[in-house]
Amino acid sequence: MRKKFTFVFLLLHAFFVAPYSYAKDILSADEVAADLQYFFSMLQSNFSYLSLSQLDLVEEQQKALLQFSDDNIPIHTLAQYTQRILGKTIDAHAETRKWETYLEKHLQENSRILYLPFLIESTLQEEGARYIAFEPDRSKFIAPNYPYLFAIEHISLTDWESTLHQYIPGATATHLSASVQRLLRYYWLAYYLHFQKALSKDKITITLENDLHEKKIVTLELAERPHWYGTWPKNKTQVLENNIGYLRLANYTDLSSKEVIDLHQNMKNFKNTQSLIIDFRKNGGGTRYLINDLLPYFMPDSEKYYIAALGKCRLFAGCEVGSRLMYPVHSKFFSIQEKQFIKKFQKQFSTPISYNKDLYSDWHYHLVRNSRNPQYFYSKPVYILMNKDNFSAADVFLSAFKGRPQITLIGEQSGGGSSAKKHYQLPYSELSVGFGRMLSLQKTGELFDGYGVLPDIKIIPEPTYFLGQTDQTLQTTIRIILDKAK
């Protein structure tokens, strides 16, 4: 009876008092129980993709009570647990914020924190993801003619993926492979997650593979610091040969005046080109303002408005999504004519997504206006180059452009993620867990999460692309333009 009273007291304390207390490295079983009660209750009431993720919260909660029944629970153990729970969802933005740092703090007292001594990039082949290993300066592969990383410590990359996928929310193969790539980069972390013990040596043995599936084993010194990828490709915005415009948009993340001025100046320079290539590869998202700045250049005068995306939020989570340029049809941000346009769109819109309408707000719409200030109508063909690293607002950008008359998307499937993430602080551990509150849909009715945006022409980057030696995606696009011009 006393234990039950203590648990109830701790649970009440969790909601009303504990958020202002200090974080602990070690937690009691009752404190963890209160934290998890809050965690699961927030998922139940506020998570937009709960039913779509097929996550049984009752079953998970019962398992958790058994798993955390003893006292003296390290905070890093709880952080790993909440990350694994979020890893079962389709919400690619879901996270336990900085969950790795709690583990790093625990491990660095008795082990070294070391990183891969090379860069890797994932590509999706017919047989699944393949990982390309190359020097940090992109000068060469780790072993000549053996571009693919097949195994680490004689354990296949497929087995490493099976472990790491448990900690990665999201459902597209592109997002999963890109996330595995990022976790492997922090080798101390991937090693611990796979072997459940700290890294104890400063060398790594890898097995490399060529296109004939021949193998080569190499042993390397691990790195003291992580190597950085930087922007890739490093091409500059310019007018290419044969009067082809090339607009590089790798890092358009903020609505700065300089970015807007540069964008419009570049489009002014491209006005008389025969075709336009927008290289959007490696753009990981940011704000949605780019859509409203750029898309009107490709809207004819007869097209006044366009719906770029839509979504609805869990009622208890709030729906302050104005920063995503999304508002309900009755909003003061829409004119009478715009409301009429949205209502017309509503009549023909449908989605195959099944959800409980009673738990969600009204639809919110991202409307693009054909302002013609300073935009003009660019009537020639436009080709957008895309890849697996396009995510979040970059997903929305690609989806907004896809299917328009003069637009062709070329490259890899995008990452797939859009959910208006909101964070909640667990009361005793003070861990910050975040997950989506918005059911975010493409204009076609499909989700972003779990689907991403598919290219019209699929091209998988070749290994030498990552060394800057070739660029099949760009060169194929240029050939298409020139062939059509004949």
Residues 6+ apart with CB under 8 A from 363: 310, 311, 312, 328, 329, 346
Give pLDDT, residue 94.
98
Give the separation between CA 169 and CA 171, rounded to whole angstroms.
7
The residue length of the chain stands at 486
Per-residue pLDDT, 253: 56
Handedness of CA 278, 412, 293, 234 (dihedral sign): negative
Contact 6, 29 (CB under 8 A): no
Collect all residues with Cβ–Cβ distance below 8 Å to 105 and sequence separation of at least 6. 76
Query: Looking at residue 16, what is its pLDDT?
Result: 40
Q: How many CB atoms lie within 10 A of CB 351?
A: 14
Nearest one of 114, 146, 117, 144 to 130, comparing CA atoms? 146
**What strands, in cross-sheet order, belong to the sheet with 305-313?**
326-328, 364-369, 305-313, 438-442
C-alpha span between 101 and 92 (Å, rounded): 20
Contacts of residue 41, Cβ cutoff 8 Å, sequence gap at least 6: none
- Please name the residues in contact with 356: beta carbons below 8 A apart, sequence gap of 6 or more: 51
DSSP 306-371: EEEEEEEEBGGG----GGGTEEETT-TTS-HHHHHHHHHHHHH--------GGGB---EEEEEE--
Q: Is the dihedral of CA 207, 208, 209, 215 positive or negative?
A: negative
Per-residue pLDDT of the chain (486 residues; tens, 9 = 90+): 434 434 444 444 444 433 433 467 999 999 999 999 999 999 999 999 999 998 999 999 999 999 999 999 999 999 999 999 999 999 999 999 999 999 999 998 778 899 999 999 999 988 899 999 999 999 999 999 999 999 999 999 999 999 999 999 998 999 999 999 999 999 999 999 999 999 999 999 999 999 999 999 999 999 999 999 999 999 999 999 999 999 999 976 555 678 888 999 999 999 999 999 999 999 999 889 999 999 999 999 999 999 999 999 999 888 888 888 999 999 999 999 999 999 999 999 999 999 999 999 999 999 999 988 888 999 999 999 999 999 999 999 999 999 999 999 999 999 999 999 999 999 999 999 999 999 999 999 999 999 999 999 999 999 999 999 999 999 999 999 999 988
Structural tokens at position 107? 């491990």
**Which helix (H) or strand (E) element contains residue 176?**
helix 173-185
- Same fold flag, 119-221 and 238-485: no
* Among candidate residues 219, 227, 224, 250, the one with its CA nearest the CA of residue 237: 250
Contact 450, 416 (CB under 8 A): yes
For domain 238-485, give the CATH superfamily.
2-enoyl-CoA Hydratase; Chain A, domain 1 (3.90.226.10)
Neighbours of 156 (CB within 10 A): 12
The answer to whether the beta carbons of residues 203 and 414 sit under 8 Å apart is: no
On whether the 119-221 domain is CATH 1.10.3470, my answer is no
In the chain, the largest separation of any two C-alpha atoms, in whole Å, equals 85
The pLDDT of residue 9: 41
Whether the model clears a pTM of 0.85, i.e. scores above it, the answer is: yes
Q: What is the pLDDT of residue 173?
A: 96
Q: Would you list the domain boundaries of the chain?
A: 2-107, 119-221, 238-485
